[in-house]
Amino acid sequence: MDLQIIITGNASHKQAAWDRPGIEAIKDELMTISADPRQKAVLLAAMAPHSGDWLSALPIASCGLRIDDDSVRVAVALRLGLGVCVPHSCLVEKP
């Protein structure tokens, strides 16, 4: 993918303005190549406004906002449509 975009005006000094064309191109490509309706639904849900806001929550245990590592792992796997209980084989050889 080769994008030749020039940003001008007030937005030219903002990184988001420079990133947006590439992000949109990748999003369009992903929506085109995902034939499975479930994959499209996962992509659309992940792209929805405020879908990642839970990642910005402060981990305050006294308010019930602390999430343990396993809960984060399961939440991210479900959010991305990945298998939660998939066995892992380490590919790195031990010395």
pLDDT per residue over 64-90, tens digit each? 778 888 888 888 888 777 888 877 777
Residues 17 and 57 in one domain: no
Please give the residue range of the domain that contains residue 20. Answer: 1-33
Number of domains in the chain: 2
| Residues 29 and 55 both lie in one domain | no
pLDDT of residue 5: 66
In this prediction the pTM is 0.53
Q: How many other CB atoms are found less than 10 A from the CB of residue 23?
A: 11
For 15-59, write each residue's pLDDT tens digit: 877 788 888 888 888 888 877 888 888 888 888 899 888 778 788
Side-chain-facing half-sphere of 75: CA atoms under 13 Å = 11
Residue 9 has pLDDT above 80, yes or no: no
Residue 4: per-residue pLDDT: 62
